[in-house]
Structure 1
Amino acid sequence: MSDTARRLTGLAVATAALAAVATPHTGPSDQGSPPPDFGPAASAQAAAPGELLGAIAPSPVPTPRGEQREPPPERVLVSGVDLDARVRPVGITDRGAMAIPEDPAVAGWYRFGPAPGSPRGSAVLVGHVDSDTGALGEFAALYDVRPGDRVEVRRAGAESAVYRVVARATVPKGGLPSSTFRRTGPPVLTLVTCAPPFIPEAGGYQANLVVTAEPLPA
């Protein structure tokens, strides 16, 4: 287990115990800090804040006629940090925010955007950093990724799409770059989870951790 995972686990146990006698708690840390950023910082205009991850997803747009749709992702793995999560497609909530699977062991793929393996745009996978019991989610492992880590996305009926991590950035909950959901431009895989501080009276986590990975040659 990594030092970051140990720290998060210890904080999760402590805050879960506190939650049992006080206010319900959905995060591993009130006082924790996100891991250090690396790689090029996002420079796009910030998107408006929403619920959960603070991500207001763009309105659903059908795939243009004649354009080949990539097969859907089924699993995402980052072997260097022991991340292994099932993936299921998600859409948007009634409030216009990207939906997220409740199970912290499962990641959501934004099905109205590019799929992993697409030749252009940002394929978005999101997941919870923990559960309402304080148990760590699979995407807590993103706190330990390093530049060059290999990300494999297994796809239905197709070869895996493989990427390498190039950047990690912590942004305020209302500051998720609009480029996160772009449908054009160079292909990337964007992995998103929550980051401290966790402030219950302010709605929970106040930041997002965004990991960007670029495709490796086939």
Structure 2
Amino acid sequence: MTTTTVSNQRRAALVVLVVATTIALVWTFWPQGERKSPAAKPPPAQAVLPGTVLKSSECGNQADKPFRPTRITVSGVGKNSQVLALGRDGNNVPRAPSLSSAGKTQYGWDDPAQATNFSDTLKPAGALPGSAKGNVLLNAHTWPDGSALGNRLMEHLKVGDKIVLGGKHAELCYRVTKKIVIKAADGSAEYYQQDGPPQLALIVCSPPRIGPGNWVHRTIWFASPMAA
């Protein structure tokens, strides 16, 4: 390699170095406009005490005052079934929905506004859901072919299950605490209880059936309001 060639190579390398240095300086000092601030970091996760689990409320905003129920959702049975406000029959027993294809899908509610026999201390008028005390009295039909609400309730509703009673702009959740089966002839003072803690009391006819509308037993579920 000649001296002239080496000199030319050194001169070319020097030119490249000068150009690169110039570009770097221009890039560094050229106005960059408004610099974007770094993206905000998400807030740290909420602390959880040992042994606890964070979760949303199971029932949302619970009603804090009495209301008239119009619909009911029962675990494993049906969602938003219609609740009818009904009065009492000639024996001062809460009426049930009609014996029809519609009636077997509806619940009857003992509406205290329709109570007429206030002197019957054994069967006092039922409470409104959201009341401070007393049983909200509900009923449903059982059909011989097994197609009514009462049949599904006996098959699926058990202690620990949830019941949601709803009305106009109101909702109240209950947890089933007790299930009993009684003889129809014996009746149930517990079902009509109105001076105890607030509860939902739901009754249906239960087997055996010995004639049209004549069932030997009654099945009753009691449920207590759940915390919001």
TM-score normalised to structure 1 length: 0.62
8 Å contact from structure 2 (residues 176, 224) kept in 1: yes
Q: Which amino acid aligns with 2:222?
A: T
Secondary structure at the residue paired with 2:132? coil
- Distance in 2 of aligned mates of 1:122 and 1:71: 14
8 Å contact from structure 1 (residues 121, 182) kept in 2: yes
Q: Which amino acid aligns with 2:77?
A: V
8 Å contact from structure 1 (residues 84, 138) kept in 2: no
| Runs of 5+ consecutive residues of structure 1 not aligned to the other structure | 1-67
2:97 aligns with one of 101, 109, 116 = 101
Match of 2:165 in 1: 153
Q: Which amino acid aligns with 1:191?
A: L
Match of 2:22 in 1: none
Matched, 1:73 2:69: yes
Q: Which amino acid aligns with 1:116?
A: P
- Distance in 1 of aligned mates of 2:128 and 2:209: 31
> How far is the alpha carbon of 1:81 from its aligned partner?
3.5
Q: Which amino acid aligns with 2:223?
A: A
Which structure: larger Rg? 2
Q: Please provide the CA RMSD for this pair.
A: 2.1
1:110-156 residue CA offsets vs partner (Å, 9 max, x unmatched): 1122012222111111010127xx36112322212122101100112
1:127 aligns with one of 136, 140, 162 = 140
8 Å contact from structure 1 (residues 198, 205) kept in 2: yes
- Does the C-alpha gap of structure 1 residues 114 and 185 become closer, same or farther in structure 2, counting only changes over 3 Å? same
- Distance in 2 of aligned mates of 1:148 and 1:182: 21
Matched, 1:215 2:225: yes
Query: Higher relative contact order at CA 8 Å, sep ≥6: structure 1 or structure 2?
Result: 1
- Distance in 2 of aligned mates of 1:180 and 1:92: 15
| Runs of 5+ consecutive residues of structure 2 not aligned to the other structure | 1-63, 113-125
Map 1:1-218 to 2 at 5 A.
70-82=66-78, 84-102=80-98, 103-112=103-112, 113-130=126-143, 134=145, 136-143=147-154, 144-158=156-170, 160-200=171-211, 204-218=214-228
- Distance in 1 of aligned mates of 2:135 and 2:93: 17
> How far is the alpha carbon of 1:69 from its aligned partner?
7.3
TM-score normalised to structure 2 length: 0.59
Q: Which amino acid aligns with 2:96?
A: I
- Does the C-alpha gap of structure 1 residues 204 and 83 become closer, same or farther in structure 2, counting only changes over 3 Å? farther
- Distance in 2 of aligned mates of 1:182 and 1:79: 25
Question: How many residues end up aligned between the 2 structures?
Answer: 147
8 Å contact from structure 2 (residues 75, 157) kept in 1: no
Secondary structure at the residue paired with 2:181? strand
